[in-house]
Amino acid sequence: MGEFELIRQYFMPLARLHGPHSILVGPGDDCAVQRVPSDSDLVFSIDTLVEGVHFPLDYRPDYLGWRALAVATSDLAAMGAEPVSYTLALTLPEADEAWLCGLASGLGKAADAFGLMLAGGDTTRGPLVLSIQVHGLVPRGAAILRSGARPGDLVVVSGTLGDAGAALGYLESRSGVDAQSSFADEAFVLERYHHPVPRLGLGAGLRGLATSAIDISDGLLADLGHILEASSVGANIERARVPVSAALTRLKGVESLDYALHSGDDYELCATIPEADWMGAPSLLKQQFTVIGVVEAAPGLRLDGAAVGSESDAIGFDHFRREL
Amino acid sequence: MGEFELIRQYFMPLARLHGPHSILVGPGDDCAVQRVPSDSDLVFSIDTLVEGVHFPLDYRPDYLGWRALAVATSDLAAMGAEPVSYTLALTLPEADEAWLCGLASGLGKAADAFGLMLAGGDTTRGPLVLSIQVHGLVPRGAAILRSGARPGDLVVVSGTLGDAGAALGYLESRSGVDAQSSFADEAFVLERYHHPVPRLGLGAGLRGLATSAIDISDGLLADLGHILEASSVGANIERARVPVSAALTRLKGVESLDYALHSGDDYELCATIPEADWMGAPSLLKQQFTVIGVVEAAPGLRLDGAAVGSESDAIGFDHFRREL
């Protein structure tokens, strides 16, 4: 079997359709064709993952597939959008069957979990680089931007922060299991790195409620900084309120709050919500978020009232990577 | 100035808007937001260019920018679509200012020429790889697919074929000017390689006329082969009818037809049209195309009646690259 046939064999099944969909033409033509309902806006985002930069060398291909699609889909969650389709631009040094099978498996599991189908792509020989573009729908005019935060809004985050960042530390040091940490705690944070889950339901729940939102890919302080910059406001965050998992707190030698503030890769959501709207929000939604601070008119980001510097690049987890 | 600021400085102007547009949110948020008119379908395609595979090492960055966007936009032309926006996923080893300036210049000129605006992107440190996804609009249900060719349809191609392939030969051999060739002829074919022009007007003109269309990126025989396969038909092509430029004929003599049949990179269109529709087509459109053969019921591609083999991969200009 030739290389093309191998690639086709593993990727074409990712274009299978589940139930109602709006992809009229999928992979195999010059372009994909997607029908956008007249009451919806199209939203899309592209993310690139480079071996050794965004994931460890020799990273498991099924984990890579899940992670790559989750990272891209998280941007849809941050807009309050519902996923529809994705494209895959893949360069790889060789068409190794086991590796391709693993990648396709991870992509397929994530696509099924998030509700996406493969609509097109391009496969090329070259260094291992994946770019994934996701396409979603949001009711017309309802996309949640970064630019709407207003003084007095509450700053909220979903889930717990820092787990995936701590896991990446383990993976990069390759130090194995720390004898003083529990296996369960390490497994918990590692799973958070390997299989991030975009907060699609929470993002959709924030529509009409949040004045701004972003997914936390570069670290809470860096990403909240993007909201503040886009909204021309500032904020004060209370350290003690930043949600950290029990597992991360228990892990030996880990500065859990540092990870929670500075590390990315958890793909939780950070949003701003007017206090009155927060009070009236559905309790099921509120349970998924933690209020960590408040938006202020004075520019800049403060931790317990002390400025943390205006250069958001300097305080985030950053690897020569910036979404335009 | 930091690397991010450098990238931002050169790329953000590419998101400037010219006249009416449907990009509600461009670069700088989690996703771009595009409004698709209710009478239109969205079409999109992603293409990857790798240094040393799709363009020569140390290729001029402004030429690269033009070429990368032209190659992607050509897929919109093949669907009969009108361009709207594009995203850029760029990995590069270092943020060299002169190189970034050149790339942005080439992208900007091409975007202005083709009618596209930058809607988003991702820039990452890594080996030089560009992926560009283009987004266009086509009237609902009017996208021209590869799968509609029917026996009796005429096979037509736009422009002349083989020029860019011959130019690539010059570039790869780095042999300089051939003493027996005219400078003007070499300059002509080189320009065809450096600055391909997607046949957007011709593609739009084929809507409602063509039963199938494809852009010629891998060579006439390979790309027509994709139409035949998707349409479950065959075709016979007359060698003597394949359009070759006077410049290429003078440069390559009898070999010019080999380039015209087998080499890609010209980004002309190949389409099939029922004979009656061709006869009734606007003469301005017909002047831009040449009839080179006819679709037949018997599978396979024939040149002057002789089979050219069923393995389209084997006859095209192919470099481990396949659109899914």
Amino acid found at A241: R
Q: Do residue A28 and residue B230 have CB atoms under 8 angstroms apart?
A: yes
Per-residue pLDDT at A55: 83
Chain B residues within 8 A of A133 when measuring between CB atoms? 46, 87, 89, 133
Nearest CA to A198 out of A98, A266, A281 is that of A266
Exposed/middle/buried for B64, CB within 10 Å: 0-12, 13-18, 19+?
A: buried
Chain B residues within 8 A of A34 when measuring between CB atoms? 41-44
d(CA B205, CA B20): 22
Average pLDDT of chain B, as a whole number: 90
Structure ipTM: 0.91
d(CA B74, CA B235): 23
Q: Do residue A133 and residue B136 have CB atoms under 8 angstroms apart?
A: no
Nearest CA to B323 out of B233, B215, B197, B202 is that of B215
DSSP summary character for residue A37 = P
CB B50 within 8 A of CB B131: no
Nearest CA to A48 out of B205, B258, B131, B8 is that of B131
- Cross-strand bridge partners of residue A307: A302
DSSP summary character for residue B288 = T
Buried-state track B245-256, b at ≥16 Cβ within 10 A, e below 16: bebbbbbbeeeb
CB B265 within 8 A of CB B248: no
Chain B residues within 8 A of A29 when measuring between CB atoms? 79, 145-147, 230
Q: Do residue B122 and residue A324 have CB atoms under 8 angstroms apart?
A: yes
Among the partner residues A31, A41, A54, nearest to B44 by beta-carbon distance: A31
Strands (E) in chain A, as ranges, are 23-25, 32-34, 40-50, 82-92, 117-125, 129-139, 154-158, 212-215, 234-237, 269-273, 289-296, 300-303, 306-307, 321-323
Question: How far does B146 lie from chain A, in Å, by closest CA?
Answer: 6
Amino acid found at A51: E
Tokens of A218: 């570069």
Q: Do residue A133 and residue B46 have CB atoms under 8 angstroms apart?
A: yes
CB A43 within 8 A of CB B36: no
**pTM for this model (two decimals):** 0.92
d(CA B307, CA B313): 15
Per-residue pLDDT at B1: 60
Question: No. of H helices and E strands in chain A?
Answer: 12, 14
Sequence-ordered list of residues with C-beta below 8 angstroms from that of B5, at least 6 positions apart, any chain: none
Q: Do residue A7 and residue B320 have CB atoms under 8 angstroms apart?
A: no
Sequence-ordered list of residues with C-beta below 8 angstroms from that of A310, at least 6 positions apart, any chain: A299, A300, A301
Among the partner residues A2, A54, A122, nearest to B323 by beta-carbon distance: A122
Show the DSSP H helices in B80-178 as ranges: 97-114, 163-173
CA B26 to chain centre: 25
Question: How far does A278 lie from chain B, in Å, by closest CA?
Answer: 23
Per-residue pLDDT at B178: 56
What are the structural domains of chain B?
3-139 (3.30.1330.10), 154-315 (3.90.650.10)
Task: For an interface test with A, give the residue of B5, B12, B14, B31 to mutate (most A CBs within 10 A).
Answer: B31
Q: Do residue A44 and residue B119 have CB atoms under 8 angstroms apart?
A: yes
Backbone dihedral angles phi then psi of residue B230, each to the nearest 5 degrees: -65, -30
d(CA A22, CA A3): 30
Tokens 């601070």 locate to A293
Query: Higher-confidence residue: B261 or B176?
Result: B261
Among the partner residues A12, A46, A320, nearest to B87 by beta-carbon distance: A46
SS3 for B101?
Answer: helix
Tokens 């009229």 locate to A24
Tens of each residue's pLDDT in chain A, 324 residues: 677 777 888 888 898 765 557 899 999 899 999 999 999 999 999 999 998 888 888 899 999 999 999 999 999 999 999 999 999 999 998 888 999 999 999 999 999 999 999 999 999 888 999 999 999 999 999 999 999 999 999 999 999 999 999 988 777 765 555 556 678 898 999 999 999 999 999 999 999 999 999 999 999 999 999 999 999 999 999 999 999 999 999 987 778 999 999 988 899 999 999 999 999 999 999 999 999 999 999 999 999 999 996 444 444 444 344 444
Task: For an interface test with B, give the residue of A22, A31, A54, A212 to mutate (most B CBs within 10 A).
Answer: A31
Question: How far does B200 lie from chain A, in Å, by closest CA?
Answer: 14
What is the per-residue pLDDT across B37-69, written as a single tens digit (0 to 9) for each?
A: 999 999 999 999 998 888 888 899 999 999 999
Tokens of A309: 């510097």
Closest-approach residue (CA) in chain A for B11: A324
d(CA A88, CA A106): 13
Per-residue confidence band for B16, with pLDDT thresholds at 50, 70 and 90? confident
